[in-house]
């Protein structure tokens, strides 16, 4: 069988009309690298200084209302009851921020080292290195002396603008659609007031204060619009990687926060000890949750041939939904059985054992059901192809007419793989030694006809 897919291969971004060249040359390349190095060095100095000041601020007892950066007197007593010192708590908080910075800075520097002649890669690497600094703006940077306030505000402003610019121009470095340029002007105005004049009357007024949600929402709108209306196939794969990393990172962050501060308090008493332990657990998990974003962005920028992101998204959707459903069934069944068996000795153990067996029985059927729903909703072509192949497999076991089988084989290949040309050759006969002519050859099918 011969398959010719020449007409159906998607063109890469380099071969499609309108694809932008984001390479830098000559003096512009030198200037861009110099600006990148200066900004990154300033951020690293600010980060190191803020971590040192933050460590000192964590040793200062906070008022009972918790308005300070350190622990309250009651929380310090709880810490001592766990045989932990205030030095341990301060180092734990600081090392968590340093670990996050090391992860993001390492990936950002690798992107810069590999593709520093590409302006889009320079922007991405700067965003990656600056992201941990933005995370620490409300904690560590607050501990700096007043003399550091203006440089810290300047760096924070550059970070906010770089993040906005990333979402408006990724992945080809151009403002597409053109109205994103005006959104960028709005971002500059908004972040300038918010960073340098946070307490000014104009910043506190409702029009400017109302801009935060629309500004953040415009990042998502710009990427979605670009994905559906402008992006090439390769650029869509890049966008999928970035959105996947963002979804996993911030989705995981929200899950951790929800479990520690919303779900577990329903079953455990909320005491200062619980609050303290929740903070320590959150600080332990956060660097690993935040790891997905820089890795996915690096893959999108440094890709030579993008990994199969569709399969990864498919599996993530399936097992995320499956985990949520099974966890809900497990918790709900335990609570229900404990209520029904509250008069029996050992009712709690029986409820746990019964719920565990029910989850084991539901796992595979529920997983298959969720997989079919997601394939039908998001991967319709793949789902139809799988069903066609399954039906052909059943026919293959029962079909005895060779001519009919040949026709069905060619039809299945044409339907599932959609090549531009398909033909079937038969093995030469042992009697005459001559190769038979193709059984059937389908004419080339253009993309417009399909």
pTM over 0.95: no
pLDDT in tens, 305-364: 444 556 655 666 666 677 777 777 777 777 777 777 666 655 567 777 777 788 778 878
pLDDT in tens, 168-204: 998 888 898 888 999 999 999 999 998 888 888 888 8
Q: How far apart are the first and last CA of the chain?
A: 22
**Range name among 37-41, 119-123, 201-205, 316-320 with the lowest pLDDT average:** 316-320
């Amino acid at each position: 069988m011969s398959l010719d897919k020449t007409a159906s291969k998607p063109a890469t971004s380099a071969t499609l009309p309108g694809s932008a060249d984001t390479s830098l040359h000559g003096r512009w390349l030198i200037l861009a690298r110099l600006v990148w190095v200066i900004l990154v060095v300033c951020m690293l100095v600010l980060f190191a200084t803020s971590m040192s000041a933050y460590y000192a601020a964590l040793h200062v007892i906070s008022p009972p209302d918790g308005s300070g950066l350190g622990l309250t007197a009651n929380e310090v007593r709880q810490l001592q009851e766990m045989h932990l010192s205030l030095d341990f708590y301060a180092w734990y908080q600081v090392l968590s921020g340093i670990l996050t910075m090391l992860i993001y800075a390492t990936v950002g520097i690798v992107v810069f080292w590999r593709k520093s002649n590409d302006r889009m890669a320079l922007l991405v690497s700067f965003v990656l290195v600056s992201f941990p600094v933005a995370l620490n703006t409300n904690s560590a940077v607050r501990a700096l002396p007043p003399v550091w306030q203006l440089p810290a505000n300047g760096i924070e402003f550059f970070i906010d603008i770089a993040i906005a610019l990333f979402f408006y121009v990724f992945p080809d470095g151009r403002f597409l659609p053109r109205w994103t340029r005006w959104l960028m002007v709005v971002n500059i105005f908004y972040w300038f007031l918010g960073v340098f004049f946070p307490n000014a009357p104009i910043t506190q007024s409702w029009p400017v204060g109302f801009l935060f949600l629309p500004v953040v929402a415009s990042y998502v709108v710009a990427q979605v619009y670009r994905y559906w209306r402008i992006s090439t196939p390769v650029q869509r794969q890049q966008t999928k990687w970035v959105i996947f990393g963002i979804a996993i990172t911030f989705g995981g962050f929200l899950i951790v926060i929800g479990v520690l501060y919303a779900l577990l308090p329903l079953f455990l008493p909320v005491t200062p000890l619980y609050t303290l332990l929740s903070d320590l657990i959150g600080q332990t998990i956060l660097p690993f949750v935040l790891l997905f974003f820089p890795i996915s962005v690096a893959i999108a920028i440094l890709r030579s041939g993008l990994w199969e992101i569709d399969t990864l998204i498919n599996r993530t959707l399936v097992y995320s939904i499956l985990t949520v459903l099974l966890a809900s069934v497990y918790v709900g069944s335990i609570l229900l059985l404990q209520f029904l068996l509250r008069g029996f000795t050992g009712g709690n153990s029986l409820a746990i054992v019964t719920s565990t067996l029910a989850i084991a029985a539901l796992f595979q059927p529920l997983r298959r059901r969720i997989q079919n729903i997601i394939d039908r909703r998001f991967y319709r072509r793949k789902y139809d192809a799988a069903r066609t192949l399954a039906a052909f497999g059943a026919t293959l076991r029962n079909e005895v007419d060779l001519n009919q089988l040949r026709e069905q084989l060619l039809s299945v290949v044409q339907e599932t793989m959609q090549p531009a040309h398909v033909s079937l050759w038969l093995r030469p006969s042992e009697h005459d030694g001559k190769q038979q002519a193709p059984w059937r050859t389908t004419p080339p099918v253009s993309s417009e006809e399909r």
